[in-house]
A = this chain, B = another copy of it.
Amino acid sequence: MNFPELLENTASRNNSIVCFGMDPIIEKIPVKGSDIGIRIVKFYMEILTAVADGIAAVKPNYAFFAQYGFPGLKAMEAVIAAAKKKKLPVILDAKRGDIGKSSEAYSKEVFEVWRADAVTVSPYMGSDSVAPFINYCGGGKGVYVLVRTSNPGANDLQQLRTETGRKLFMETAANVIKWHKPGVGAVVGATNTAELEKIAKFFVAARKKVPMLIPGVGAQGGSAKDVAATLKKINSDIRLHRINSSSGISYAYERYGGGDYVAAAGKAVKELNAEIGKLR
């Protein structure tokens, strides 16, 4: 089974395209205890057990685990194993990318050490920096190339118009098509649905299945409803794509009040699925 098939099957099984982003911030994790790693694992395990049937991927963010050193990374390892046990695709959000040989080492890190199903990579260094990751697509892995990110600073380089008449993010989208194999995807932020639509249409016009990982709903200002409406407009199977929510699920208890973070996370997932609506 290649990565696009894994995405579609999981979406069909759980009737969801929600990706659950895991960004541990210890101050926000109500689990008591003295060991940071154990608290993180317990927190995500509890939520995962409650929501696993209603989501369609998890996205551990490497930065948030690594900031806690070895206990944080051990927690990430445990959380990844738990998600895989629940047959959820694991997208390691690590924004990797370096010269060919270093990217080769990074791809070993991501796929063999952390055992992720997919990874996010940065395109600034070009083809030989993403090729080692893409080589794993043959073995069923996925690679999401940053195309149009959801943050304010995205404008600094991504919005520059280039000599080809396209903006830089469309240039990267063109590279995604050039590099295409089943499993090569794109990170496209939810904060600008017009650009999301443009990119999605571009992939469809190229007749390639390019899974999109769409972060930026909730805290960053994007709307799952608008994103889903955009995805339904284009002639692409929505089950291929993922709409990510991180704090919006993990820390939903802050929004709903009360200390029951598991129930709050479950409620947040249900709301997201409702906003997204029918997948067919």
Interface residues in chain A, defined as those with a beta carbon under 8 Å from any beta carbon in chain B: 23, 61, 63-64, 66-70, 73-74, 93, 95-103, 105-106, 108-109, 112-113, 122-131, 146, 149-158, 160-164, 168, 171-172, 175, 220
A151 touches B99 (CB 8 A): yes
A67 touches B109 (CB 8 A): yes
Q: Smallest distance from the beta carbon of A184 to chain B beta carbons, Å?
A: 15
- Supposing A162-B160, A168-B162 touch, asked if A108 and B153 sit within 8 A by C-beta, the answer is no
B155 touches A126 (CB 8 A): yes
A146 touches B125 (CB 8 A): yes
A105 touches B63 (CB 8 A): yes
Q: Smallest distance from the beta carbon of A271 to chain B beta carbons, Å?
A: 22
B164 touches A151 (CB 8 A): no
Enumerate chain B residues within 8 angstroms of A158, measured Cβ to Cβ.
124-126
A156 touches B127 (CB 8 A): yes
Q: Which of B66, B100, B161 contacts A105 (CB under 8 A)?
A: B66
Closest to A108 in B: B67
Q: Smallest distance from the beta carbon of A188 to chain B beta carbons, Å?
A: 13
A126 touches B102 (CB 8 A): no
Enumerate chain B residues within 8 angstroms of A100, measured Cβ to Cβ.
151-153
Enumerate chain B residues within 8 angstroms of A23, measured Cβ to Cβ.
101-102, 105
Enumerate chain B residues within 8 angstroms of A168, measured Cβ to Cβ.
157, 160, 162, 168
Q: Which of B67, B95, B163 contacts A160 (CB under 8 A)?
A: B163
B126 touches A63 (CB 8 A): no
Enumerate chain B residues within 8 angstroms of A154, measured Cβ to Cβ.
125-126
Query: What separation, in Å, do the CA atoms of A129 and B175 have in the docked complex?
Result: 22
Enumerate chain B residues within 8 angstroms of A153, measured Cβ to Cβ.
99-100, 125-131
Query: What separation, in Å, do the CA atoms of A158 and B129 have in the docked complex?
Result: 13
B108 touches A128 (CB 8 A): no
Enumerate chain B residues within 8 angstroms of A70, measured Cβ to Cβ.
70, 73-74
